[in-house]
Each structure stands twice: as structure tokens, then as C-alpha cells.
């Protein structure tokens, strides 16, 4: 089996099985319970998970820890999801795992995220990871990452309207799913508000989990250095990560270095093309789109999306500041001309057209709506190392 063949097999499991942790726990049992070999910070929430993991990962690296980081999705290569102090997971490890899993007989065949999560935990054990930052998928108590057994701290960034149908159909149901990941006695750090906070507070109290609420005036949430990631909304993510690191006993020097050196490619990342500023961001739900739009006074919009997302809700936040709009398709199953006109089948063609228009008034181009779009453009705009290389840094 080659690496491309391993990926093809793994991706073929995307729609396999129902949500829940039974299949991943069976996988981990077959692997000898690698989840027991390391401590973890479990990061959940509607938005901001990847950024919080990035800050934690950078601080782990600054402290010289043998660390792990697990995030999803990726921009260009599956291996970006699984990183350690030694770099991205090697291709041969992915191949060996896929070959083993394909030949195993499971009563309930595991799905893609079950397999990816088990692979990450197995790799962490094999390379001697001591502490891992693990980002959940779309869920909470039924997410495969809930199979973690040595959670030292839980971070719930926020609770918003994404994955509503999958997680119960209401904001309170989403909050209960996220809060369901809270462990008995394990501290929780959160930036949630409103309904989300009410539910998290209730569950934390019932499980004896100390709860720390984001407060910029609380020294626990102080920022010892300016966050490296762009966007005013990153302040919340940086404060949550800083609080988590302090609760874990990290020195201020490591926290500050983590904030300054964190990288999360494709999240409000700025480029220049033909003299025009181009911003890439993977905002794919209304709360993320709202936060993103607030960063600009005006822009030329390039947009792609998938049918399972709240496209109207996202565009409601993005269109008011758009001087012009171009729609494109990025990724298998993505929406096409039904998004609107003008429509460009190829993202790069759409970007060049937007840049030509932006040169007339000096406004930036904002490409967003899907990380598949971001990945397609990122690959053309960025020379050199791929995301996650060089010990997790681009």
C-alpha cells in the first residue's frame, strides 16, 4: 500500500458509522490503549479550537516538552493533523496503520475520524509524547476524541450555531454536547456566554469540575505577549490558551513565547498578489463569519461553501462589506453555480479576477467560506515548506 492508497482508503470511510465513541474505543483497545500513555488538554468549541491548539503547541515546544498536537481539518495533507516534537507524522506510519486497520475485522467498522484519532494516539505513544493538545471534531461527548483517558484540562472556546442538525438541532443541545465532554474533577476553561455558559456551568458543577470563565481583568487570563495570529477575535483564543497553560504550571516565559510563535496557516492569513492584499480564512459558520467581517471596512469577496453549511447565514455577515463578489467551487461535493453569479469553476481563476478588480480601488480580497478553498489558494500563494513542517511550524 502506498501513501496515496492509504489516504484513499481512509477518506473512503468518511460516511461510515454513527456518531459515538464505541468504535474508536474498540480500535484503541486493539492497539493496546495508547491513549493511556500521555496527558492531554482537550479543546472543544464551535470556533477557535485550532488556534487554541496552536498556542498550546507553541508553548509546549518552547518548554522543550515531547508534545503532540491533533487538529482537523487539514489544508493540504492529512499529515498536518498529527504533529509532535519530531514534526508531522511520517507517511510510512500512516500507511502501516491504514494497512493494519483495513485487514482487521471489526464488529462495527470504524469511520474516518475514529481511524484518524486512533492513529494520532498510537503515534503519540510511539514517539514518547508526554502532553498533547487535542482538538475535538464537530462534537463533544460523542466525539472520537472523548476516548482520551488522561485529560488534565478541558478548554471549551465558545458555543455557537454550527453542526446544529448533527448535535441536536438547538443551541442548548449543542452546548450540552460540548459540555458532555467535561470530566469529573477536571478543570474547565471557557469563553462561552449565554445559553452555552449556563449549560457548561451546570454540567461542571454536577461533575465537580473547577470552572474558569474568561475575564480579561483576571491575571489568570493575562497576555504576556501579543498573539502572533491575526485578528482581534484571536485575543479570546490567546487568553484561553494562556489560562490553560498557567493552570498546567507553565512558566510565563514559555507562555509568552508560545503566543509569539504560534502558527495556524489559512486563518486570516495575509498575502500579496500583484500588489493586492489577499486574506485567506476558513470561516464556515455565522459566528466565525461575523467575527471575520468585523476585521475589515470593505473588501472584494471570493466565496466557496458546502451544502451542509449555513451558507445564507454566513453570507449575511460577509456580503454587507463586499464591494464585489465571486463564487467558486472547492472540494468534492462543494456547491457550484447555485451559490450565485459570477461563478468561476476554478478558485485560482476566481482569485485572479478578484485581484484585477481590487487593483482599481486598493481594497483587499477576502477568500473564505471553506478551508478547502483556503487550501487550494494557499498552495498557489505559498512557496517553500508545507503547513505543519519544521516541528509543527510553517
Q: Which of the four pLDDT bands, split at 50, 70 and 90, describes residue 331?
A: confident
Q: Which residue has the cell 447555485?
A: 338
For residue 386, pLDDT over 70 is answered with no
Residue 163 pLDDT: 46
Question: Which sign does the torsion angle of CA 56, 59, 61, 65 carry?
Answer: negative
Q: Which of the four pLDDT bands, split at 50, 70 and 90, describes residue 332?
A: confident
| Mean pLDDT score, 114-118 | 97
Q: Which of the four pLDDT bands, split at 50, 70 and 90, describes residue 170?
A: confident
For residue 48, pLDDT over 60 is answered with yes
| Mean pLDDT score, 280-296 | 94
Residue 25 pLDDT: 95
Residue 162 pLDDT: 53
Residue 389 pLDDT: 43
Q: Which of the four pLDDT bands, split at 50, 70 and 90, describes residue 382?
A: confident
Residue 184 in 3-state DSSP? coil
For residue 392, pLDDT over 70 is answered with no
Q: Which of the four pLDDT bands, split at 50, 70 and 90, describes residue 16?
A: low
Mean pLDDT of the chain: 92
**90-113 burial by CB neighbour count: b if 16+ within 10 A, else e?**
ebebbbebbeebeeeeeeeebbbb
| Mean pLDDT score, 322-339 | 93
pLDDT tens digit sequence for 217-263: 999 999 999 999 999 999 999 999 999 999 999 999 999 999 999 99
What is the phi/psi pair of residue 88, to 5°?
-70, 155
For the entire predicted model, the pTM comes to 0.92
| Residue 161: DSSP 8-state | S
For residue 99, pLDDT over 90 is answered with yes
| Domains detected in the chain | 3-261 (3.40.1190.10), 269-381 (3.90.190.20)
| Mean pLDDT score, 153-157 | 97
Highest-pLDDT range among 15-24, 154-163, 353-362: 353-362
Grid coordinates in use for 245?
Answer: 497553560
Asked if residues 158 and 68 have their Cβ atoms less than 8 Å apart, the reply is no
Amino acid at each position: 500500500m502506498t501513501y496515496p492508497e492509504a489516504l484513499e482508503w481512509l477518506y473512503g470511510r468518511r460516511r461510515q458509522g454513527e456518531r459515538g465513541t464505541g468504535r474508536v474505543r474498540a480500535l484503541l483497545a486493539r492497539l493496546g490503549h495508547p491513549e493511556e500513555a500521555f496527558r492531554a488538554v482537550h479543546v472543544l468549541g464551535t470556533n477557535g479550537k485550532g488556534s487554541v491548539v496552536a498556542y498550546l503547541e507553541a508553548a509546549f515546544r518552547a518548554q522543550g516538552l515531547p508534545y503532540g498536537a491533533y487538529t482537523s481539518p487539514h489544508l493540504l495533507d492529512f499529515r498536518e493533523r498529527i504533529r509532535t516534537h519530531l514534526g508531522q507524522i511520517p507517511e510510512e506510519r500512516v500507511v502501516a496503520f491504514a494497512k493494519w486497520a483495513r485487514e482487521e475485522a471489526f464488529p462495527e467498522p470504524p469511520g474516518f475520524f475514529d481511524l484518524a484519532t486512533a492513529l494520532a494516539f498510537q503515534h503519540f505513544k510511539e514517539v514518547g509524547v508526554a502532553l498533547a493538545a487535542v482538538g475535538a471534531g464537530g462534537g463533544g461527548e460523542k466525539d472520537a476524541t472523548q476516548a482520551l483517558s488522561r485529560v488534565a484540562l478541558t478548554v471549551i472556546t465558545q458555543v455557537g450555531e454550527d453542526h446544529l442538525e448533527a448535535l441536536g438541532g438547538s443551541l442548548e443541545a449543542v452546548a450540552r454536547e460540548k459540555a458532555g465532554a467535561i470530566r469529573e474533577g477536571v478543570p474547565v476553561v471557557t469563553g462561552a456566554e449565554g445559553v452555552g455558559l449556563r449549560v457548561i456551568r451546570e454540567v461542571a458543577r454536577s461533575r465537580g469540575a473547577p470552572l474558569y470563565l474568561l475575564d480579561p481583568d483576571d491575571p489568570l487570563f493575562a497576555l504576556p505577549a501579543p498573539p502572533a495570529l491575526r485578528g482581534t477575535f484571536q485575543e479570546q483564543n490567546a487568553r484561553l490558551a494562556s489560562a490553560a497553560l498557567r493552570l498546567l504550571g507553565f512558566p510565563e516565559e514559555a507562555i509568552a513565547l508560545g503566543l509569539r510563535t504560534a502558527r495556524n496557516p489559512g486563518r486570516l492569513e495575509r498575502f500579496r498578489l500583484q500588489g493586492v492584499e489577499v486574506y485567506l480564512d476558513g470561516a464556515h459558520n455565522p459566528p466565525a463569519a461575523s467575527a471575520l467581517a468585523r476585521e475589515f471596512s470593505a473588501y472584494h469577496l471570493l466565496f466557496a461553501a458546502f451544502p451542509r453549511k449555513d451558507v445564507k447565514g454566513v453570507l449575511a455577515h460577509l456580503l454587507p462589506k463586499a464591494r464585489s463578489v465571486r463564487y467558486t467551487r472547492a472540494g468534492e461535493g462543494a456547491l457550484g453555480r447555485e451559490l450565485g453569479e459570477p461563478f468561476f469553476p476554478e478558485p485560482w481563476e476566481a482569485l485572479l479576477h478578484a485581484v484585477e478588480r481590487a487593483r482599481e480601488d486598493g481594497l483587499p480580497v477576502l477568500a473564505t467560506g471553506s478551508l478547502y478553498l483556503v487550501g487550494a489558494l494557499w498552495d498557489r500563494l505559498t512557496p517553500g515548506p508545507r503547513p505543519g513542517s519544521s516541528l509543527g511550524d510553517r
